[in-house]
Amino acid sequence: MDKLIIEGGVRLKGEVTVSGAKNSALPILAATLLTDAPCEIKGVPNLRDTNSMFKILRALGKVVEFEKGKVSITAGKNTNYIAEYKLVSTMRASFCVLGPLLGKLKKAKVSLPGGCVIGVRPVDLHLKGMRALGADISIDSGYVIAKTKKLRGAYIYLGGVYGSSVLATDNVMMAAVLASGKTVIESAACEPEVVDLAEFLIKMGAKIKGHGTPTIEVEGVKHLQGATHTVISDRIEAGTLILASLITGGDVLIKNVQGKHLGALIDKLNEAGAHLLRTDGALRVKGRSQLKAVNITTLPYPGFPTDMQAQMMSLMTIADGISVITEKIYPDRFMHVAELNRMGAHIQREGPHAIVEGIKSLSGAPVMASDLRASASLVLAGLAAKGKTSISRIYHLERGYEFIQEKLTNLGAKVWREKE
């Protein structure tokens, strides 16, 4: 197992290109289960999570070939409807194979994905949606067993305790495209990744309206065809790279950025006094000597993304003033607080709030990543800190950031790996 070593204090400079969106690629790959025809997905990042999805698709009978961001998927000889625990347990998003399996094969047996360190994320909304479409659902020995003679369109309210659910919206939408009649999903997630999935399904022949709004309408069709699609760029990677430039006082041109997907983040950075220059498909980020502290509350899209909360906290540790960061999506998503405090940060947690008192500089220290976005926050802190930072458990980072070490090195960062 490797750890990441960062020698901080280097201003990042140069150009970097954002990879395709992991959270688009995963459900789009799952959606290929809805057809026996060939599909080609471009812009797929080479990550632990995408490779896990390839394994799941192969186990379900697909032939998957991956080369330089392009995935070709065709039907194999043996079709399977069981997604086993040893595969699903490695990645929560793999649960989204439930919808397409149920829609195409009328049966599915998918392992429950369980919780994770950022808090328990139940699948009740997924099961509620499947039951509304006419599926018989039971849970046995840690597996969700779903079957139906025929899925039928329905009105489904998918609002949860903390708002809409991206993965549940994806799952129900995929099941509904082959159901008979019309399905209306209320309180649907509006994230760009949901829109991207819907656009892929439409290319396959699905009839979908309203994606990108809280009300999605799906008119069922009898079958879907193959399609070619390029996934959108990863807005969370883009946001992380923006903060990397700011936290180091750098000057970085970030390419393949869809600025319209980053509205809430850019608004907060403007409030903090950051200098951001938008160009066609790119964003130039010039760091300033001192940014102002700002308050942040995470909300479903188009609000401030929970997946940028940890990284923004790292930036606020050296901002001028006191910021209050409120987590309304996953109230327990603060595992990075203790690690940032090890680096000299002044952060106090009170329930779903973190109070961050800005200091002049962080100090390098040995820290441990607890989840994907927490690991990114520690990388940002390490880039800004005085001295050397050692980050253990970087396999979390590899789940969601393609070639991140190489990208940072090309911008001048002193980053390398060592064996634990």
What's the average model confidence in pLDDT over 261-277? Answer: 96
pLDDT tens-digit map of 303-315 = 999 999 999 999 9
What's the pLDDT at 115? 45
Question: Cα(119)–Cα(117) distance, rounded to whole angstroms?
Answer: 5
Residues 6+ apart with CB under 8 A from 268: 294, 296, 304, 312
Task: List residues with catalytic annotation.
Answer: 116
**Amino acid letter, 390:** S
Question: Cα(26)–Cα(147) distance, rounded to whole angstroms?
Answer: 23
412 pLDDT above the threshold of 90: yes
Whether 123 is covered by a domain: the verdict is: yes
Rg (CA), the chain: 21
What's the average model confidence in pLDDT over 151-160? Answer: 96
Contact 12, 408 (CB under 8 A): yes
9 pLDDT above the threshold of 60: yes
* Residue recorded with tokens 């019309």: 182
Report the run of H or E that residue 294 belongs to, with start and end: none
What's the average model confidence in pLDDT over 313-333? Answer: 96
Strands 13-17 and 215-219, how do they pair?
unpaired
Contact 95, 113 (CB under 8 A): yes
Report the run of H or E that residue 185 belongs to, with start and end: strand 182-186
Question: Cα(131)–Cα(297) distance, rounded to whole angstroms?
Answer: 33
Among the residue ranges 150-154, 192-196, 275-279, the one predicted with the least confidence is 275-279
Question: What number of other Cβ atoms are within 10 A of residue 419's Cβ?
Answer: 6
What's the pLDDT at 289? 75
Residue 34 gets which letter from DSSP? G
Q: 57: which strand partners?
A: none
Shared domain for 31 and 149, answered yes or no, is: yes
pLDDT tens-digit map of 344-390 = 999 999 999 999 999 999 999 999 999 999 999 999 999 999 999 99
What is the residue range of 282's domain?
Answer: 2-19+234-419
Shared domain for 11 and 69, answered yes or no, is: no
What's the pLDDT at 47? 95
116 pLDDT above the threshold of 60: no
Contact 48, 401 (CB under 8 A): no
Contact 343, 381 (CB under 8 A): yes
Cα distances (Å, whole numbers) of residue 48 to 69, 72, 396, 398, 409: 14, 18, 9, 6, 21
Whether 6 is covered by a domain: the verdict is: yes
**Amino acid letter, 176:** A
What's the pLDDT at 410? 98
Contact 102, 146 (CB under 8 A): yes
Whether 166 is covered by a domain: the verdict is: yes
Contact 415, 409 (CB under 8 A): yes
Shared domain for 148 and 239, answered yes or no, is: no
With bands split at pLDDT 50, 70 and 90, how would you rate the model's confidence at 327?
very high
Contact 195, 211 (CB under 8 A): yes
Shared domain for 179 and 303, answered yes or no, is: no
What's the average model confidence in pLDDT over 286-290? Answer: 83
Longest dimension (CA), the chain: 64
Cα distances (Å, whole numbers) of residue 322 to 172, 345, 357, 402: 42, 12, 4, 33
Whether 227 is covered by a domain: the verdict is: no
Shared domain for 132 and 148, answered yes or no, is: yes
Mean pLDDT across the chain, nearest whole number?
95
What's the average model confidence in pLDDT over 263-281? Answer: 94
Shared domain for 122 and 7, answered yes or no, is: no
Shared domain for 163 and 297, answered yes or no, is: no
168 pLDDT above the threshold of 90: yes
Strands 70-75 and 62-67, how do they pair?
antiparallel
With bands split at pLDDT 50, 70 and 90, how would you rate the model's confidence at 161?
confident
Nearest to 366 by CA among 410, 318, 409, 418: 418
CA angle (5, 7, 9) in 5-degree steps: 145
Shared domain for 213 and 358, answered yes or no, is: no
What's the pLDDT at 121? 56
* Residue recorded with tokens 């305790």: 161
Nearest to 72 by CA among 83, 87, 58: 58
Shared domain for 318 and 387, answered yes or no, is: yes
- Where does a domain end: 166, 188, 221? 221
What's the average model confidence in pLDDT over 12-28? Answer: 98
Alpha helix stretches (DSSP H) within 8-95: 22-31, 48-59, 85-88
Nearest to 211 by CA among 201, 220, 221: 201
118 pLDDT above the threshold of 70: no
Helix axes 309-316, 263-272, angle to 10 degrees: 10
φ/ψ of 109, rounded to 5, equals -135, 105
Question: Cα(164)–Cα(145) distance, rounded to whole angstroms?
Answer: 24
For residues 26-39, one letter each, b for 16 or more C-beta atoms within 10 angstroms of the residue's C-beta and e for the rest, the string is: bbbbbbbbbbbbeb
Shared domain for 29 and 141, answered yes or no, is: yes
For residues 260-282, one letter each, b for 16 or more C-beta atoms within 10 angstroms of the residue's C-beta and e for the rest, the string is: ebbebbbebbeebebebeeeeeb
What's the average model confidence in pLDDT over 181-204? Answer: 98
pLDDT tens-digit map of 29-39 = 999 999 999 99
- CATH number of the structural domain spanning residue 330: 3.65.10.10
Question: Cα(382)–Cα(415) distance, rounded to whole angstroms?
Answer: 10
Domain count, the chain: 2
